[in-house]
Amino acid sequence: IAKYFASRSGTRHSTNAVQIMGALGCNDNYSISRCFRDSKTMEIVEGSNQIHQLLLGKGFAKKAKRAIEKNTC
């Protein structure tokens, strides 16, 4: 869960910073370009965020199913 939310947040914020800086945000002389590149890499490394979303959703669905079965039986 931490990898999913941290990489998603990092990408969102670094994307905003690059957009604010305009063309300079893509220049390698500025650290924001490195932050953006690294955050996008973290979304892919050790499974993409879409894979993590799928796994988290399945896990939450199983827990919800068990809770419903426990309360109805």
DSSP 15: H
Residue pLDDT, tens place only, 19-52: 999 988 888 889 999 999 998 888 888 778 778 7
Domain ranges of the chain: 2-72
pTM: 0.62
Name 8's Cβ contacts closer than 8 Å, sequence gap at least 6: 43, 49
The CATH fold assigned to 2-72 is Butyryl-CoA Dehydrogenase, subunit A; domain 3 (1.20.140)
Q: How confident is the model at residue 73 (pLDDT cuts 50, 70, 90)?
A: low
Residue 4 has pLDDT above 90, yes or no: no
Residue 69 has pLDDT above 70, yes or no: yes
Report percent pLDDT > 90 for the chain: 29
